[in-house]
Amino acid sequence: MSPDYKGVQVTLKSADNGDGTYTNPIIQADYSDPDAIRVGDDFFMTASSFGCAPGLPVLHSRDLVNWQLIAYASPKVMPKAHYNKIQHGNGIWAPSLRYHNGTFYIFYGDPDFGIFMLKSEKAEGPWSEPLLIKEAKGWIDSCPFWDEDGQAYLVHGYAGSRAGIKSILAVNRMKPDGTALLDDGILVFDGHDGNGTVEGPKFYKKNGYYYIFAPAGGVSTGWQLVLRSKNITGPYESKIVMSQGKTEINGPHQGAWVSLADGEDWFLHFQDQEAYGRVVHLQPMNWKDNWPVIGDDADGDGTGEPVITYRKPDVKQTEMISPESMNDEFNGDAPSLLWQWHANPGLDWGKSFPGKGVFRMYCQSSSEGSVNLWDVPSLFLQKWPAVSFEAVAKVKLSLLNEGERFGLIVMGQDYASVVVENKNGELVLNEITCLNARKGSEENYTGDFQSVSSDLFLKVKVEVGGICHFSYSENGLDYKSVGLPFTANTGRWIGSKIGFFAQRMNKVNDSGYVDIDRFTMN
C-alpha cells in the first residue's frame, strides 16, 4: 500500500471526465519542462521553477491524470546570495527526476552556475541541499542514467546565451552516487541540420537501445525528437515521433516517458499557452520497429499528433481531489504549497500566524531607483489555475506610514493591480498598470481614487484570453469595478502569476503590514 500523500490540487478543473476518459491539458497550470517517473503504484513529477522560491515542485498522482502538489525539493534557490535578488528567467531549468536503489534524485542545470543534484529517501522530502556536481557556464537540462552494469552517465544540453553554442547534446560518465562527473564528456548529437534548439534530453533504455528523448524546434513551434543507439555514446540515429500536425497543440514536446506496471507507455509534455504558461498534456505512447510513437498516428508514418480526449491509463487507483483544496484560509503554520516568492524570501517578508488565521505581509522598502515592481523580489504569487477564473482575497490593512501600499496583482512583463495606498493618512484605492515593466516603464493609474476602509475584499476576474477585471468590496457582497480591463502577458519563461505585494516608499523604523485572511479561487 502506497503512502497517503497530502497535497493540494494544481488546477481548478480536473481533466478526469469521470467516465474513464480524460481531456488535455491534464494540468491547466504552468508546470514547465515536466519530468515524471513511476515508483510502485505512484507517479511523481517535477518541473522548472527558475528563480522562484521554494523551487523544484514535487507532484504526485495515482493515475497520471489527477495531480497534486505535495512538496518542494529546494526551499531556496542556490547559491542563496545570488537568488536573494530577483533573477527573472534564471535559476532552475528543466530538471530530471529519477528513482535509483531506493533513492529519489533530481538533477538540474542552472545556466549560470552548472549542474546540481539533490536526493531524498522520500518524494515528499526532506531533500538534500542542492550539490553543485559540475561548475560550468551554459550547461543545462541534465538527466542521469544508471546502466545495468552499475556505470552511471549524464546527458545535458547547452544554453546558447551563456555557452555561445546550442542545439548540441553531450554525455558524461558520472560517479554512481551522482556526486560528480568523471570526464569531459562526448558530443553525441548535433541538431543544426534540421533539429535546431535541441535541448531538454531525457535518458532511457529498452530492448538493448539507449534512447534520448529531446525536444527540438523551439518552445512554441517545435516537435518531439527521439535518438537511439546500441552504444551509450553513439552514434545515434534520430526520428521525429510527435509533432503538432493538424492539431491546435503547438510545440508539443519536452517531457517524460512513463511505463505502467503492465508495460503500457505514456508520455507527458508541455504546451506553451503564453500568459497561461506551459501547461501539461498526457499522450499515449506505442512502439513501432523499436521507435516510440507518441499520440495518434492516424496515417501510420511513425510520427504521432497530440490527442485531446482519450481513455485514461489502465491503473487500479485514482485520487480525484476537490478544487476547494486550492483555497487558502491561512490557518496553518505555513501558507498553501501553491504560493511562491519571486526570489529567496527574507524572514521579514511574510508569516503565517495560526492563532490569528492570517498570513501577514510586511511592507518592504523599494530598491533605490526602481520605477516599477519588475525588480521587486518580495512578490507572493501563484500560478494561474484555469483558462477563466475568479480570485478573491479578504484582507485587513494596517498601512501605518505615508506611501505604504498593498495590492492584489496579476504579474508578468506587463502587470496590473488593484492597489490600496496610505496617502496623507487616508486609505485610497485605484488600479495601476505597467506595460513593458522589464524595460523600465513607469506605472500608471487607470481609475479614479476611492477612499476605502481597512477591511476589504479584493477580486480579479480572469476571462478567456487572459483579460482581467479588478474590483473591490467592503462587505464581500457588493463589488465595485476598478480601472480598465487588462490583458495579461507572460513573465520571463513563465506564465502570468497572481498574488500580492506589500511595499513602502519611505524609510521608516517600523513597517506597516497587511493580514490576508483568506484567498479563494473559483
3-state SS, residue 69: strand
Q: What's the sign of the alpha-carbon dihedral 490, 371, 504, 78?
A: positive
Catalytic residue status for 199: yes
Residue 2 lies inside a defined structural domain of this protein: no
Confidence grade of residue 48 (pLDDT, cut at 50, 70, 90)? very high
Helix, strand or coil for residue 391? strand
Task: Look at residue 421 in the predicted model and tell me its pLDDT.
Answer: 98
pLDDT tens for 258-275 read 999 999 999 999 999 999
Under the banding of pLDDT at 50, 70 and 90, the label for residue 367 is confident
Domain contains 59: yes
CA distance 91 to 49: 8
Neighbours of 116 (CB within 10 A): 23
Task: Tell me, yes or no, whether 418 lies in a domain.
Answer: yes
366 and 406, same domain (yes or no): yes
How confident is the model at residue 354, as a pLDDT?
86
Does 4 fall in a domain?
no
Q: Kindly state whether residues 360 and 236 are assigned to the same domain.
A: no
* Structure confidence by residue, pLDDT tens digits, 244-259: 999 999 999 999 999 9
Q: H or E segment at 379?
A: none
- Spatial CB neighbours of 126, under 8 Å, sequence gap ≥ 6: 120
Please indicate, yes or no, if residue 332 is contained in any of the structural domains. Answer: no
pLDDT at 151 over 50: yes
Per residue in 281-326, pLDDT (tens digit) is 999 999 999 999 999 999 999 999 999 999 999 998 887 777 788 9
Q: What is the pLDDT of residue 2?
A: 64
User: Distance (Å, rounded) from C-alpha 32 to C-alpha 49?
Assistant: 8
Q: Does 208 share its domain with 353?
A: no
Average confidence score pLDDT of the chain: 96
Q: Of the residues 16, 30, 110, 199, which is catalytic?
A: 199
Alpha-carbon gap, residue 378 to 357, rounded angstroms: 21
Q: Name the phi and psi angles at 275, rounded to 5.
A: -60, -25
pLDDT of residue 25 exceeding 70, the answer is: yes
Closest CA to 202 of 148, 145, 133: 145
278: its cell numbers: 506551459
Confidence of residue 475 (pLDDT cuts 50, 70, 90): very high
The answer to whether position 334 is within a domain reads no
Q: Report, as an integer, the average pLDDT of 449-466.
A: 98
Q: Which domain holds residue 156?
A: 10-311
33 is catalytic: yes
Q: In this structure, what C-alpha cell is assigned to residue 42?
A: 505512484
Which uninterrupted H or E stretch holds 320? none
In this structure, the strands spanning 186-190 and 168-174 are: antiparallel
Interval 322-352: pLDDT, tens: 778 899 999 999 999 999 999 999 999 999 9
Residue among 26, 72, 27 nearest 52 (CA): 72
Supply 28's cell numbers: 491547466
Sheet holding 350-353, edge to edge: 350-353, 358-362, 513-521, 389-398, 455-463, 467-473, 480-487
Q: What DSSP string describes 24-58?
A: S-SB-S---S-EEEEETTEEEEE---BT-BSEEEE
> Using CA atoms, how far apart are residues 296 and 300, in angstroms rounded to an integer?
9
Sign of CA dihedral 491, 492, 493, 498: negative
Q: Residues 280, 381: one domain?
A: no
Number of structural domains found in the chain: 2
| DSSP structure string for 13-31 | S-SB-SSSEEES-SB-S--
Q: Of the listed 16, 30, 33, 272, which one is catalytic?
A: 33
Question: What is the C-alpha to C-alpha distance for residues 404 and 507, in angstroms, rounded to an integer?
Answer: 10
Q: Tell whether 216 and 297 lie within a shared domain.
A: yes
The verdict on whether omega for the bond into residue 25 sits within 30 degrees of 0, i.e. cis, is yes
| Least confidently predicted of 45-54, 123-132, 292-301, 507-516 | 507-516
Confidence of residue 277 (pLDDT cuts 50, 70, 90): very high
Q: In this model, does residue 36 exceed pLDDT 50?
A: yes
Same domain flag for 169 and 49 = yes
Selection from 71, 72, 68, 70 nearest residue 55 by Cα: 72
Q: Say if CB 91 and CB 55 are below 8 A apart.
A: yes
Evaluate whether residue 482 is within a structural domain.
yes
Rounded to whole angstroms, how far apart are CA atoms 223 and 211? 16
The answer to whether 304 and 293 are in contact (CB under 8 A) is: yes
The answer on 360 and 242 residing in a single domain is no
Residues 95 and 22 in one domain: yes
First to last CA, the chain: 34
Q: Do residues 293 and 417 share a domain?
A: no
Residues forming a β-bridge with 190:
168
Task: Determine the 3-state secondary structure of 442 from DSSP.
Answer: coil
Task: Judge whether 35 and 96 are in contact, CB under 8 Å.
Answer: yes
- 487 with 392, same domain: the answer is yes
Mean pLDDT over 440-464 rounds to 97
Q: Which 3-state string (H, E, C) describes 398-431?
A: ECCCCCCEEEEEEECCCEEEEEEEEECCEEEEEE
- Whether the predicted pLDDT of 1 surpasses 60: no
The CATH number of residue 37's host domain is 2.115.10.20
DSSP-derived letter for residue 346 is: P
Task: Say if residue 52 is in the same domain as residue 144.
Answer: yes
Say if CB 250 and CB 231 are below 8 A apart.
no
Boundary of a domain, candidates 311, 330, 360: 311
Phi, psi of 90 (to 5 degrees): -100, 180
Pairwise CA distance, residues 171 & 164, whole Å: 19
Check pLDDT > 80 for residue 116: yes
| Dihedral sign of CA atoms 35, 38, 39, 45 in order | positive
- Environment class of 398 (CB within 10 Å of its CB; exposed 0-12, middle 13-18, buried 19+): middle
Rounded to an integer, the average pLDDT of 132-145 is 98
**CATH number of the domain encompassing residue 467:** 2.60.120.200
The verdict on residue 390 lying in a domain is yes
Place of cell 503554520: 333
Section 376-397 average pLDDT: 98
Q: Which residues does 399 contact at the CB level (< 8 Å), separation at least 6? A: 363, 405, 406, 420, 421, 422, 427, 512, 514
How would you write 94-125 as a 3-class SS string? EEEEEEECCEEEEEEEECCCEEEEEEECCCCC
Whether residues 233 and 345 share a domain: the answer is no
Q: How far apart are CA 161 and CA 212, in angstroms?
A: 23
